[in-house]
Amino acid sequence: MKNALLLATVGLSGWLVGSYFEKRKRISFSNFQNNDIVKRYPGIPIFGSLSAATVIDDNLESKIVQVQSRTSEIMKHGFPGLDEIRSFDDFVLSYDKRNRIAHWVFEHLTAERLKVKENVDRSKCDFREDKSIHPYFRSTNEDYLGSGYDRGHLAAAGNHKLHQRHCDQTFYLSNISPQVGVGFNRHSWNRLEKYVRKLTKSYPNVYVCTGPLFLPRKEADGKKYIKYEVIGSHDVAVPTHFFKVVVLETSDRKLLLEAYVMPNEPIDDNVPLSSFQVPPDSIERHAGLLFFDRISKSNLVSVNGRKTSYV
């Protein structure tokens, strides 16, 4: 309890939660207190995140403007949820404090950003704790040790090669989930990640939202149960499945959507990726998220390769 009291967290003073329309309005945040930066940039909310360590330097203001601009790009099509948002230099995530893994991670890929840079080296990256997460809810390398699971990336390291720093940040454990290694993380999930990268050759902008799922299963007693393993002393949740929702933007601003769900288990390399496509709303319902709410439906020309009725 002592720690809980010492570590200030989600306190909000004197806010009104009024109420009214069934259809929620867009909101923006401001008024971050006790903070010079925010005074200079009204309307800009600041959450603790991993950029922390280096943001506090002489170039603080320009750095903030830079991260703001990149976050807007990545999140162009809306936030799927607003729980514990962390913005990194090249991806944005929402953290699930109860499961000790992300709710979702959002990326924006382009051919230009994926070009191999000589000086970016994945082998220089180390998995490390995300100290912006309260110690109660933060996963550690020890949690994964001996669990039998890989430390699987949600924002793939291979998607963030513009700077070493971008690649480094994908190794924060807030971006990591327990994944079956052989047959999943190292094979079919990797196959899906590569496929998504390849899409940047056909589409100028590729937006990707990736996250865990905990799907119910009917048991012998006829009832439905959600069951998943938790590992380590922090009880890090092992998802039953992972999802990836992809929005492809054409040069004339048309949008194509693809949605995948893969079980967190060994998958035969020969199963085609298209067989993992699902209706996007099935992911939304199970994840408790809403994707791409800012997408203009008149611009959405296809879902999972099938023309939409909006065309």
Please, are residues 217 and 177 in contact by the beta-carbon 8 Å criterion? no
Rounded to a whole number of angstroms, the minimum distance from the CB of residue 226 to its own copies is 6
Taking the C-alpha atoms of residue 241 and residue 261, their distance in angstroms, rounded to an integer, is 7
- Only one of the segments 76-84, 118-126, 171-179, 190-198 lies at the binding site for its own copies (rule: CB under 8 A); that segment is 76-84
- Residue 307 engages its own copies in binding (rule: CB under 8 A): no
- Cβ neighbour number for residue 113 with a 10 Å cutoff: 17
* 288-294-299-300 Cα dihedral, nearest 10 degrees: -10
Taking the C-alpha atoms of residue 222 and residue 219, their distance in angstroms, rounded to an integer, is 6
Rounded to a whole number of angstroms, the minimum distance from the CB of residue 76 to its own copies is 10
Residues of span 238-267 touching its own copies by CB under 8 A: 257
Measured from the CB atom, the residue of 9 and 119 that comes closer to its own copies is 9
Q: Tell me, by CB under 8 A, how many residues bind its own copies.
A: 108
- Residue 11 engages its own copies in binding (rule: CB under 8 A): yes
187 is catalytic: no
- Residue 211 engages its own copies in binding (rule: CB under 8 A): no
Residue position matching structure tokens 């004197």: 14
Helix (H, G, I), strand (E, B) or coil at 285: helix
236: which residues sit within 8 A by CB, 6+ positions away?
99, 100, 101, 139, 143, 144, 178, 230
Measured from the CB atom, the residue of 10 and 220 that comes closer to its own copies is 10
- Residue 7 engages its own copies in binding (rule: CB under 8 A): yes
Residue position matching structure tokens 């933007």: 249
What do you get for the CA distance between the two ends of the chain, in Å? 57
- Residue 56 engages its own copies in binding (rule: CB under 8 A): yes
Rounded to a whole number of angstroms, the minimum distance from the CB of residue 215 to its own copies is 9
Judge whether 264 is annotated as a binding position: no
- Six-digit token string for 172: 């924060």
Measured from the CB atom, the residue of 122 and 229 that comes closer to its own copies is 229
- Residue 17 engages its own copies in binding (rule: CB under 8 A): yes
Please, are residues 149 and 229 in contact by the beta-carbon 8 Å criterion? no
Taking the C-alpha atoms of residue 161 and residue 200, their distance in angstroms, rounded to an integer, is 14
Which residue of the set 153, 160, 166, 286 is catalytic?
153
- Cβ neighbour number for residue 72 with a 10 Å cutoff: 10
- Only one of the segments 46-54, 170-178, 260-268, 269-277 lies at the binding site for its own copies (rule: CB under 8 A); that segment is 46-54
Residues of span 82-141 touching its own copies by CB under 8 A: 82-83, 85-87, 92, 96-99, 131-132, 134, 136-137
- Only one of the segments 11-19, 159-167, 179-187, 263-271 lies at the binding site for its own copies (rule: CB under 8 A); that segment is 11-19
- Only one of the segments 182-190, 198-206, 231-239, 268-276 lies at the binding site for its own copies (rule: CB under 8 A); that segment is 231-239
Helix or strand run (H / E) with residue 257: strand 255-263
- Residue 182 engages its own copies in binding (rule: CB under 8 A): no
Measured from the CB atom, the residue of 143 and 193 that comes closer to its own copies is 143
Taking the C-alpha atoms of residue 175 and residue 102, their distance in angstroms, rounded to an integer, is 6
Mark the binding-site residues, compressed into ranges: 185
Catalytic residue ranges: 153
